[in-house]
Structure 1
Amino acid sequence: MDLRFLESFVEVAECGSLAEAARRLNLTPAAVAQRLRALEADLGHALVSRVGRTVRPTASGLAVLPFARRLLADARDLRAIAANDLPAGELRLGSIATGLTGLLPQVIPPMRARWPRIEFFVRPGSSLDHFHAVLSGEVDAALIVRPPVQIPKAMSWLTLREEPLILIMPEQMEGTSIQAILRAAPFIRYDRSQWGGQIVDRYLRANKQKTWDFLELDALDAIAALVSRGVGVSIVPDWAPPWPAGLRLRRLALPDAGARSIGILWKRSGPRIAAVRALVETCADTFLNGPDSATSQPTIWQA
């Protein structure tokens, strides 16, 4: 049985679309469909069915799916184990949106140059989702907001960046009184279901700041774009650049408002621990030990 066929089946089952699975696998939809037919012929059962433009697993497909995922994971682990404790094999990472744009592009190129046998898989998502993904082993490490809960003993944490809260407003808006600005303008909230949004909410509550809530979003770049267009004002962390191009904003510092800590969370053991250690080392060299780093010493939390 060809593992590539299993990989195509898993992607189609998760995406619900041949076209999207083909995009992720860098194949044509026809090639993915051909792989599925070959796998179905090998197993003797139909694994997917079409409902309009959607592709769904059949009963046989649902039964096979967890075993297929396990086989693929075991195959990835074998490549890492065979490397004899050298960084190699697939490194599965999770990252919040600002980590994808502001941090990973600085980390992956030097890692590829130094450890060319590492293969990268990056999954976007929220800090909460990635916390549980690291805990369950779905991903090996994640760039997230520091968890507001105690970090389990099986995990480690490295703080890479402190992002102070700032008030952003349209460029043409006047005034320097935080309280007056928040009372006068529509307020676009950073989603309180996000750990970063909870930091903003705690600041507002602690300072008894009244806001005229207009909208609540989890996408920081969308919040900044709306503020730039004059829709309202917002309080956000001063996240790692790049910010969206063409923004016309004023930024006001918020004294004693706290900050959003961004870092890397990982499990201390596992078949790909050599690649994970290479990632942590590269992150520390890039963001903590370089000439432009804001923090000279790594802050590593371990139970």
Structure 2
Amino acid sequence: MDTRFLESFIAIVERGSIADAARHLGLTPAAVAQRIKALEDEIRQPLLVRAGRSVTPTAAGLGIIEKSRQLIRGVEDLKALATHNEFAGELKLGAISTALTGILPFMLRKFLFDYPKIDLHVTPGQSTKLYHEVAEGQLDGAIIVEPPFSIPKTCGWKRLLSEPMVVLVSEDCTETDPLKILKKNMFLRYDRNQWGGRIADAYLRETRIFPTRQLELDSLEAIALMVSQKVGVSLVPDWLKPWPEGLRIRKIPLPDTMLQRHIGVLWLHASTHANLLRQIVPLLQPKNLSPDRHPVVS
């Protein structure tokens, strides 16, 4: 089977028309239609249904679309390995929300310039989920919170930065003692299902602070917005900028300056892009992103 036929099929499904797919592939619509006819003859099933200028996949077409994408990616990886050029094909990278806004946007221009043959696909998610997707080979790597256990030998790990945990309060809060603030106010809890949230929870238990009024959220941005609106206070990592605009908050450091959330890159050694991930780690270091990217406690 000619993989170019599969590429044409995927292009039509993704763009919804033969004409748009042809423009994307740099072919004539007739040439694309001929490829689809050859593919349907080989599979012995109709793959597309034409309705005017629009085209949609049949049940058989839907059944093979994801496998077709996997085959194309596999061929690209084989070509890269055969030519000793690891820096081609699709790189599947996961990232937590604060890395999506605080790290990736500031390294992409240089990354795309240095690795023009890499097709970068970014999957957002929580650290726990992304960790398992890397370990199971669904992702090549991920920018996540450092796991609370040893990294297995099948994976590599490089710490990028450490974010101090701070108490968030509204701008008009006059109390300066972080422990008193945590004891006396409505507490907006950083989700304990997340590894960063477990750091905050462990600190509360160690200091014997047990909030009676609390709300648990899995979004740091949402917590910051609620603190700004005087809903409560919180204990969160001082993550990389940008933060939501217009916040009226203060960040109060803890007595324990070593309480931190660590962020790093996890990758699978067996990935065809393992060497690439090791090579781009310097691009992900905060000091190499842009000025004023570091967490700042005010």
TM bin, normalised by shorter chain, reads 0.7 to 0.9
Instruction: Name 1:229's counterpart in structure 2.
Output: 229
Deviation string, structure 1 residues 79-138 (Cα, Å, up to 9, x no partner): 532552352222111000000000112222222222222221111001011111111221
Aligned pair in 2 of structure 1 residues 242, 32: CA closer, same or farther (>3 Å)? farther
The Cα shift of 1:183 comes to 2.7
* Partner SS state of residue 188, structure 1: strand
Does the C-alpha gap of structure 1 residues 221 and 208 become closer, same or farther in structure 2, counting only changes over 3 Å? same
The equivalent residue for 1:5 is 9
The equivalent residue for 1:165 is 165
| Paired residues for 1:207-218 under 5 Å | 207-218=207-218
Tell me what 1:240 maps to.
240
Question: Counterpart amino acid of 2:274?
Answer: I
Alignment-derived partner of residue 106 in structure 1: 106
State yes or no: 1:90 paired with 2:90: yes
Matched letter for residue 279 of structure 1: I
- TM-score, normalisation: structure 1: 0.76
Aligned length: 268
1:128 aligns with 2:113: no
The residue correspondences of 1:35-54 to structure 2 (distance < 5 A) are 43=43, 44=45
Paired AA for residue 273 in structure 1:
A
**Quick one: percent identity of the two aligned structures?**
38
Where 1:212 maps in the other structure, the secondary structure is coil
Structure 1 range deviating more: 112-121 or 135-144 = 112-121
| Structure 1 unaligned blocks of 5 or more | 10-21, 49-54, 295-303
Instruction: Measure how far apart 1:144 and its partner are.
Output: 0.3
1:301 paired residue number: none
* Aligned residues of 1:160 and 1:287 also touching (Cα < 8 A): no
Deviation at 1:225, TM superposition (A): 0.5
Q: Distance in 2 between matches of 1:45 and 1:149?
A: 50
- Aligned AA for 1:271? T
Partner amino acid for 1:259?
A: Q
Secondary structure of 2:158 counterpart: strand
Q: Distance in 2 between matches of 1:120 and 1:273?
A: 14
TM-score (norm 2): 0.77
Which whole-Å deviations, capped at 9, do the CAs of 1:159-207 have from their partners, x for residues lacking one?
Answer: 1110111000111122122333223221111111111111110110111
Structure 2 unaligned regions, length at least 5: 23-32, 50-55
3-state SS of paired residue (2:107): helix
- Aligned 1:137-286 pairs, distance under 5 A: 137-256=137-256, 258-284=259-285
Larger radius of gyration: 2
Deviations 1:243-266 (A, max 9, x none): 111100011101226110001011
Q: Quick one: structure 1 residues 222 and 291, their matched pair in 2 at CA, closer, same or farther if it must change by over 3 Å?
A: closer
For residues 7 and 95 of structure 1, the distance between their equivalents in structure 2, rounded to whole angstroms, comes to 27
Runs of 4+ in 1 over 4 A off after TM superposition: 29-35, 37-43, 45-48, 55-58, 60-63, 288-294
CA RMSD in angstroms comes to 3.3
What SS does structure 2 have at the residue aligned with 1:2?
helix
1:161/1:31 Cα in 2 relative to 1: closer, same or farther (>3 Å)? farther
Q: 2-side partners of 1:287 and 1:201: how far apart?
A: 30
SS at match of 2:138: coil
Distance in 1 between residues matched to 2:19 and 2:165, nearest whole Å: 46
CA distance in 2, matches of 1:287, 1:105: 14
Three-state SS of the structure 1 residue aligned to 2:159 is strand
Contact 1:189 1:213 in 2 (8 A): no
Partner residue, 2:74 = 74
